[in-house]
Chain A
Amino acid sequence: MGNIIERYIYDVIRRLPEKDREDVENELRGNILEMIENPNDDEEVKKVLYSLGSPRLLADNYRNYSPLISSTWMGDYLYTLKIVLIVLGSIGLFFGFIESIQNIEASQIVLKVFEVFFKTIGNTFSSMLSGFAIVTIIFICLEKQSEKKDVWNVDKLPEIPKKVNLSISYKSSISGLIFTVIFGGLWIYLLYFSNMYLGWFNSDGDWVVDQVVFNLSYTRTFAILFFFTLLADVVVYIFKIKYGQWNKLLIFMYSLSKIFGLVVLALFLTGDLISSDFISRISTELSFSYSEVDNFINSFKYVILGLAALGNVVDIITMYFKQFKYL
C-alpha cells in the first residue's frame, strides 16, 4: 500500500516546478505518514489520500496558479475576442467561399455541394481559430508586460448603445414561413419542369417551347438540392416560432442555412446551367455572336452570385454585431 502513497506523491509533484519538487515530496510524505496510524491498513491509507483531495487539485494549490489572463483584463479580452471572431469569421466565410468555388475537386454535383460547404465552414473556423490565438497571445503579453492602471475619466464614458430588440415577431415568422414554402416550392417545381415553362416559345398557334433555357438534367439535380435548402429554411423558421427571440443556437442555425443556400446557389450558377440551343437561338434572334451571348450570360450569373454572397455575409455580420452584446 506504501506504493499508493508514493504514486499519489508522484502524481502531485510531477505537476510542480522542478525546484519545488523535492521539498514538497519530503514534506508531503512526512505529513501523510503522520496522518496514518496504521500504514498497513489499506482503507485508512485511502481515506487519508481522499481527504487530501485529487493530486491535480493539491498540485494546483501548491502552485498557486495565476491565470494567463486575470480578471482585470478578462472583460476587455472577451469584448475584443467577440469583435475579432465576428470580423475574421466573416472574412474567412467570404474568401473561403470564393476560394472553394474556384477550386472544386469533386465531380458529382452533390459532392461538390458538400465540398464547398465544408471547405467554407472549415475556412471560417480556421480564421476564427487564428483570431482566437492572436487575441489570446496579445492579452497574455499585456498581462505579463504591463500592470493595468485603472485610470478613467468620467467624460470619456461610452455612449449607451441602442437597445436591440431580440424578439422575433410571431406574425413575421409565420408569414415568412408561408412565403418561403410557397416561393421555394414554386422555384423547385419550375426547376424540375423547366423544359415546360422556361424557354424560347414559339407563339404560332399553341405556346410551345422551341428551345429550353436550362439543361433539364442539371436543373432536376439542383431541384433536389434546393429542396434541402428549403428544408433548412423551414427548420430555422420553425425554431424562430418556437423560441420567439434570437439566441445563440438560432443564430448559428440561421448562419449555417444561409451558407448552405449560398453554396447551392453558387454551384447552380457556375455550372452547365444554360442550354447551348438557347444561347444559339438568342444569338440568332438578336444578331450577336454565340460567344458574346455566352459571355454576357456568364457575367450576369457572376453579378447575381456576387450580390447574393455579399448580401448573405453582410446579413450575418450585421446580425452578430447587433446582437452579440445581448446574448
Chain B
Amino acid sequence: MTYSIMYLEVEKVSKIDVESLKVELRRGTQILIVLSQLDAKEYGYSLLEKLDKKNLGIEAGTLYPLMRRLESQGLLESEWDTTLSRPRKYYVVSEEGKAVLNELLEEWKKINKEIEGIVGEING
C-alpha cells in the first residue's frame, strides 16, 4: 500500500514537469547574473564561457537575445570591433545598468533571507 502511494506521488510530480519549474525559478536571476558579469566588456560567446566556468549556465539561445534586450533598455552599452578577422560586438554595463544591478542585488539579498527563513521552517 505504502509503495503504491509513493508511486502515485512520483507520478504526480513528474506530470508537473519539475525541470520547467526550475527554469522558471532561475529566469528571474538571469538579468542580475548578466549585469554582474559585464563590468568589463565581453562579447556573446566570451560571456557564455565565463558564465559556464562559474557554473552559472544560461543557454546561448537565451543569453544572446537577452544581451541585446538589455542594451535596448539602456542597461548595457555596446560597440563593434571590426579590426579582427571576425567582427565582434562587445557589451559592457552602463551607468544606469550599474544602478539597476545594485537595486537587484539588494532585492536578491532580501529574497534570499526570506527564503532562508522558509527553508529553516521546512527543515524544522
Contacts and interface: CB of A to CB of B under 8 A. Distances in A.
B61 A53 contact: yes
Q: Provide the main secondary structure of the chain A interface.
A: helix
B89 A58 contact: no
A34 B89 contact: no
A28 interface: yes
B60 A52 contact: yes
B59 A51 contact: yes
A51 B45 CA distance: 13
B88 A51 contact: no
Given A30-B86, A30-B89, A35 B61 contact: no
Interface string B34-49: 0000000001111010
Interface in B1-54: 43-46, 48
Interface string B78-108: 0010000011110000000000000000000
Interface string A14-42: 00000000011011101101110000000
A57 interface: yes
A34 B87 CA distance: 11
A273 B87 CA distance: 86
Contact of B87 (A26, A53, A61): A26
A58 B61 contact: yes
A64 B65 contact: yes
A62 interface: yes
B69 interface: yes
A103 B43 CA distance: 70
Interface string A48-77: 000111000110011010000000000000
Q: Which of A30, A53, A57, A58 has the most CB of B within 10 A?
A: A30
Nearest to A53: B61
Contact of B61 (A33, A61, A64): A61
A34 B45 contact: yes
Q: Which of A30, A31, A64 has the most CB of B within 10 A?
A: A31
A62 B43 contact: no
A33 B48 CA distance: 14
Given A34-B45, A62-B68, A51 B61 contact: yes
B123 interface: no
B87 A31 contact: no
Interface of B: 43-46, 48, 59-62, 64-66, 68-69, 80, 86-89
Given A31-B60, A52-B60, A58-B61, 6 more contacts: A24-B68, A27-B89, A31-B45, A34-B45, A62-B64, A64-B65
